[in-house]
Amino acid sequence: MLLDFSKMHGLGNDFMLLDLVTQPFEPSPAQIQAWSDRHTGIGFDQLLAIEPPTDPHADFRYRIFNADGSEAEHCGNGARCAALFIAARGLSPKRSLVLQLARGTIRVTHLEDGQVEVEMGEPSTAPESLPFIADAPGVSPVAESPGQWLIDSSVGPVQVFTVSMGNPHAVLFVDNAAHAAVSEIGSALMQHPAFPAGVNVGFCQVVDGAFLRLRVFERGVGETQACGTGACAAAVAARLTGRTGPRVKISLPGGKVRVAWQGTGSSVNMIGPATLVYQGQIEA
């Protein structure tokens, strides 16, 4: 079977996208791993599948698979690419769409300047939302404010802010993101028993009250050029710890996004670009 696909990226966070509305198919973990290989396959951080929804309030189902074949709950950069892909494939004429995730829904909207806005949903610092095992060995709270923890990891004690954006995140505030031990600390936290489903680890440098620098070690992938949910998690953590206001620009290795969050009870909104690299066919 020949499958049509598109290669896209959001700030260098790159994806293979499949239209499984008009060409029904279920990729296996082995196929995803083979296709993700940057030497012998297409090469990507995540595979994104657009399918008919099972939620009657959604326009499409949006599934995310990491390069190792595991399925993820959410991907913000991917959501922007999914919006562009759906329009390019002629699957919907709408400028604003509701996409069904593994948990809940999000709204994506094409803006006049060609960028895409994603209503990412309401964040949560409740440990069970990640999930995060707050009473795991080597874990202790560091402040009365929810979400802040000291974790005794294999590379030493690490202070994190935990937040769910529909997927699990741990944010570390660092003096200089460029010099952060992203792979070493990211791998250690990924494997820590306090995160039974793994975790995406963000290394956030606060430049000022409206500007952050960020690098992210993504679960099932490693460090990527950009992470949309990671950017949103960093914005939430920075605001809840009094470091920033409701609107921030976030610089990642692949480029910049804008994130707005009015506070508890409101959705995090993210604006950024999506780029089509090429289209092709692959034997499945």
3-state secondary structure of 76: helix
Of the residues 81, 204, 227, 232, which is catalytic? 227
Q: How far apart are CA 119 and CA 52, in angstroms?
A: 20
Of the residues 75, 81, 204, 232, which is catalytic? 75
DSSP state of 124: B
Our CA angle for 172, 163, 104, nearest 5°, is 145
If 0-12 CB within 10 Å is exposed, 13-18 middle and 19+ buried, where does residue 178 land? exposed
Q: How far apart are CA 186 and CA 202, in angstroms?
A: 8
Q: Is 81 a catalytic residue?
A: no
Q: Look at the alpha carbons of 230, 33, 5, 18 in this order and tell me if their dihedral is positive or negative.
A: negative
Q: How far apart are CA 203 and CA 200, in angstroms?
A: 10
Q: Is 232 a catalytic residue?
A: no
The answer to whether the CB of 256 falls within 8 A of the CB of 249 is: yes
The answer to whether the CB of 120 falls within 8 A of the CB of 267 is: yes
User: For residue 94, which phi and psi values (nearest 5 degrees)?
Assistant: -70, 140
- Could you list the active site residues? 75, 227
